[in-house]
Amino acid sequence: MFNCISLNSRSFFPFVWDNLRMISTSTVGLCKQQQQQQKYRPWLNIEQAKVKPSSSIEKNRQDREDLAAAYRGLAYYGLSEGVCNHLTSRTPAKNGEGEVMLIVKYGLHWTEVTASSLLGINIENGSVLEGDGEPETSAVEIHSHILKTNPSIQSVFHTHPPHATSLACLEDPTLHMIHQNSTRFFEDVAYDCGYDGLATTGNEGARIAQQLHGKSVMFMGNHGVLVLGKSTAEAFDKTYYLERAAELQVLAMSTGKKMSKLPDNLAKFVNQQIENDSRFLVAHFEAMKRIMKHTYQGDFTS
């Protein structure tokens, strides 16, 4: 009889399903509040299944693997550009003294990035504390300022994805709420129209960080986009969906017909639905890591 119960049977046997789940090994040791949370959000098991690092060295290693996977994953999606642009992540320093900012060393293609090849940069002064090689100057300038002024943010991604960047090249770069993907960014986009050349001076990074105004996405006029994430998985997922939302808008605009914009209350509602379901971004990133294990030469975890 049990063999005949399909996944859809959850809705018909909620009591049986819940109790089966409550005695599974994934819930052992959880407090009542956590068990209650899992009752309604069982996908949290995906995150809880990850081994929690017990030291700064382990956390540093785990963050390096995640960021290396993000570099390769965005290249896989066609969102890298030559050997430019940069993805960064803060992590405990290997020596246990403070934090470093992980970043690709200049000249490495994103498909070549591995956990051990990433540099660890002093966030305060830009010096290389971990690894051999040099980072791109403008990358350190932009990312270190953002990490310093946004302590809850772990990862900062700067890319030139074709559709999002094409919107950034318009006089009005507004990302309109015209699709489910667009609503992910409802009231969470900053627009910087003050492009002033490569960010190699001491002021451009601070200016860009200030222009964010608490948003997690920025369209950088005549340049590209910035995405901030509380985790590397979140920054990866957001970067992907930002480009997808922009692509749909560019295609819709290319018809020359009037776009159908969602009302604010509906866009906000869908935004909250997606925000409250962390299953999406975690599953997306974990799937990408599985694909990256056998897509490019060498293992990104090495």
Structure tokens at 111: 């498909």
User: x/- site string to Zn ion, residues 121 to 160, per CB under 5 A?
Assistant: ----------------------------------------
Stretch of 165-173, 217-225, 262-270, 274-282 lying at the interface with Zn ion (CB under 5 A): 217-225
In the complex, least distance from residue 302 CB atom to Zn ion, rounded to whole angstroms: 28
In the complex, least distance from residue 205 CB atom to Zn ion, rounded to whole angstroms: 12
Stretch of 145-153, 192-200, 216-224, 263-271 lying at the interface with Zn ion (CB under 5 A): 216-224
**Considering beta carbons, is residue 236 or 285 the nearer one to Zn ion?**
236
In the complex, least distance from residue 158 CB atom to Zn ion, rounded to whole angstroms: 6
**In whole angstroms, what is the distance from residue 244 CA to residue 293 CA?**
24
**In whole angstroms, what is the distance from residue 88 CA to residue 67 CA?**
7
In the complex, least distance from residue 218 CB atom to Zn ion, rounded to whole angstroms: 12
Q: Does 205 help bind Zn ion (rule: CB under 5 A)? A: no
How distant, in Å, are the alpha carbons of 138, 186, 193, 208, 230 from that of 153?
Answer: 19, 19, 23, 15, 5
Q: Which residue in 47, 21, 46 sits closest to 35, CA to CA?
A: 21
**Considering beta carbons, is residue 82 or 151 the nearer one to Zn ion?**
82
- Taken in order 92, 94, 97, 99, the sign of the CA dihedral is negative
**In whole angstroms, what is the distance from residue 48 CA to residue 50 CA?**
5
Grouping H, G, I as helix, E, B as strand and the rest as coil, residue 67 is helix
In the complex, least distance from residue 204 CB atom to Zn ion, rounded to whole angstroms: 11
Per DSSP, what are the bridge partners of residue 189? 217
In the complex, least distance from residue 85 CB atom to Zn ion, rounded to whole angstroms: 6
**Pair type for strands 128-130 and 119-122:** antiparallel
Q: Does 224 help bind Zn ion (rule: CB under 5 A)? A: yes
Contacts of 62 (CB under 8 A, 6+ apart): 53
What count of residues does the chain have?
Answer: 302
**Considering beta carbons, is residue 225 or 270 the nearer one to Zn ion?**
225
Q: Does 161 help bind Zn ion (rule: CB under 5 A)? A: no
Q: Can you give the binding site for Zn ion, defined by CB under 5 A?
A: 224
